[in-house]
Amino acid sequence: MLSITDLSAGYGEVSVLHGVTLSVPAGRVIALVGANGAGKSTLLRTISGQIRATSGTIEYRGQVINDLKPDKIVAAGLVQVPEGRRLFPSMTVLENLLVGASAPAAKLECAASLEKVFAMFPKLRERRGQTAGTLSGGEQQMVAIGRALMAKPELLLIDEISLGLAPVVVTEIFDKIADLASSGLTIVVVEQNTALALEAASYAYVLEHGEIALHGVASDLAQDDRVRKAYLGI
Ligand code: ATP
């Protein structure tokens, strides 16, 4: 579904990603792990068109999308749940969700998508008239996922979903991610919580200083000495 070859990107003079190659098969959950500042969010931002690759290719369903604008990438079904949720705090839950259905095709199916989101997160139905800024962290994260689902994604990029949330809420949200995966959605999870990411994914990539340092079947990586020492604290 997604194939990235020799990708480099950064911010102005600052080069962050150096020759990243990875692939995401349809219907799988792939984890991208690594320390603070390794370049995980930069990789997601490059895939979703927020920053431009300086070299290399990003192919989504066989089409090179390096030069596509972010709105076209979303309309094609590649949707990101950004780090820090990025909700509109003074808008209601419902209004925030509707922002996700901005592309014409998503707008057409807006009512059905909303029903699915509310079925997945019943709390959001209850709170649909409440301003997003007054929700708990976990509820805000549900809105951020819901907003992405409103865009009718085929590939979901989820950035640091566990950040700042209580463990019980993290478990609840990862259960929902597992449900989405079993419904056939392809998902890339970026996580500093390596144990959680390796449990949720079938295959994983470890990013170090903007390069893929290791990759493999997630359960194998969880047993790998380098991963255990550097990322699992074992
Ligand atoms: P974290 O989990 O802490 O977010 P990360 O692996 O996602 O880490 P990135 O956020 O991609 O890492 O950051 C990689 C590098 O890019 C860092 O050195 C960071 O300072 C730099 N960087 C990130 N965003 C910007 C920006 N907007 N302008 C300049 N440099 C940036």
Rounded distance from Cα 218 to ligand 1 centre (Å):
24
**Separation of CA 32 from chain center:** 10
Can you give the pLDDT at residue 184? 92
Query: What is the distance between the alpha carbons of residues 113 and 151, in angstroms, rounded to a whole number?
Result: 8
Q: What pLDDT shows up at residue 208?
A: 93
Phi, psi of 80 (to 5 degrees): -110, 140
Mean pLDDT, the chain cut into blocks of 10 residues (234 residues total): 97 95 96 92 95 96 95 94 88 95 87 93 94 91 94 94 85 90 94 89 95 95 86 75
Give tens-digit pLDDT for 203-234: 999 999 999 999 999 999 999 888 888 877 77
At 96 the pLDDT is 96
Q: Which fold has domain 1-67+190-234?
A: Rossmann fold (3.40.50)
Q: Nearest C-alpha to atom 27 of ligand 1 is from which residue? A: 11
Q: Which of 41, 49, 114, 22 is nearest to 84 (CA)?
A: 41
The structural domains of the chain, with segments of one domain joined by +, span 1-67+190-234
Which among 13, 14, 194 is the best mutation to test ligand 1's pocket, defined by most ligand atoms within 8 Å of the CB? 14
Identify the burial level of 128 via C-beta atoms within 10 angstroms of its C-beta, where 0-12 means exposed, 13-18 middle and 19 or more buried: middle
Kindly report the pTM of this predicted structure.
0.91
- Tell me how far the alpha carbon of residue 53 lies from the centroid of ligand 1, in angstroms: 15
- H/E stretch holding 132 reads none
Could you give the 3-state DSSP secondary structure of residue 59? strand
